[in-house]
Chain A
């Protein structure tokens, strides 16, 4: 086993996998390749505490990286993969042979086709992005946020909390309604208007101008800085020539083994985190790709277990979960939420500051959402996933 294990992607999933490999008894060579020139760090604070200056870049580093017995190739991009030859090609010109590979290259922010990014049109994914954005907010710049998904909403909430002028724009007339259902989505959008954010829903940004932006309905919105939070693309550019199946992410079986183009699991390659797409029994259509924190950590651990137990792998069945913090309110979701579910308020009241909602599909409980009711959510969570000893925990 001379090549050892290579992990491409040195963020949460890659790190948790690497830790799992060592905890699981792997003693061979372990190499991590990371595009960013930093040890792994935690992203949730980038739209919250780090943006507000309450945490520093040192504070967001993920524990466990410095204690790991591994070789780090940071500031290095993978540019190609030779599946048959079991070799990863790097932008530095060299390549890494492996006995087992974990792909954990995450996602990159989607860029709008009609807007060139520059100092006044930005995305938020990295520590650098967050530090620059935080400085701009503290300097009094007026913010326009395009995209009222969770990241856009957190940026809007953080900026507003810092006293900035904020305008929130979304193409959908009811942002997040497709996922949460119309009533709950509206309740969450109302948080922003209640805190003085100006909202324009059902329109897009046509052009960035000297004074701000012009929306697709002709409205001129003044502002100094446009932050684009319109979703993310899986980090698979380096795999387009490789013999791996790509379809909105790297396609895996339920053991997180990557499939070749012919659909057959390769056997020496796994994937975890935001980039991985895998079969899930709760998802209509059968496959999931999840961009949530808990999934990155759990799938990294699950992939590591299966890399060390090739003859008795464990299916990865963790139910997706997410949270969002806006204006001091804590939103928690678990399961496969969708507007085509029957959504019912089970505790509290939609109009109040605390509630739990259930999501049923075909009479089965498939998800739950809580506003400021995390402890109560646990009861619903267990009914979706079964006892708390499921899967690789």
Chain B
């Protein structure tokens, strides 16, 4: 799958990091680092992360 995050909209809430820590991490300055091509096995967690983003910054596509 492919993950993209609109970093202009990202506000460092960190809900994605709680839901899918293998894919999303906030660094110490509060900036998001993420894996843009995580394993398909992580799809459910990544969908959850996307739905828990309060600013809807995350888009998930199949490829």
Contact = CB atoms under 8 A, between A and B. Distances in A.
Interface of A: 16, 19, 23, 42, 44, 62-64, 293-294, 297-298, 301, 323, 330, 374-375, 378, 381, 388, 393
B59 to A, nearest CB: 8
A175 B26 CA distance: 32
Contacts, number: 47
Nearest to B11: A330
A374 B10 CA distance: 13
Contact of A297 (B26, B29, B45, B51): B51
A378 B52 contact: no
B56 A375 contact: no
A16 B30 contact: no
A222 B14 CA distance: 42
Interface of B: 11-15, 17-19, 21, 26-30, 44-45, 47-48, 51-52, 54, 56
Contacts of A19: 51
B27 A375 contact: yes
A375 B29 contact: yes
Contacts of B47: 23
Nearest to B43: A23
Contacts of B11: 330
A42 B56 contact: yes
B52 A375 contact: no
A298 B52 contact: yes
B51 A374 contact: no
A374 B26 CA distance: 9
A393 B18 contact: yes
Nearest to A45: B55
Nearest to B17: A378
> What 3 A-B pairs are tightest by C-beta distance, nearest first?
A388-B18, A375-B30, A393-B19
B14 A375 contact: yes
A293 B52 CA distance: 9
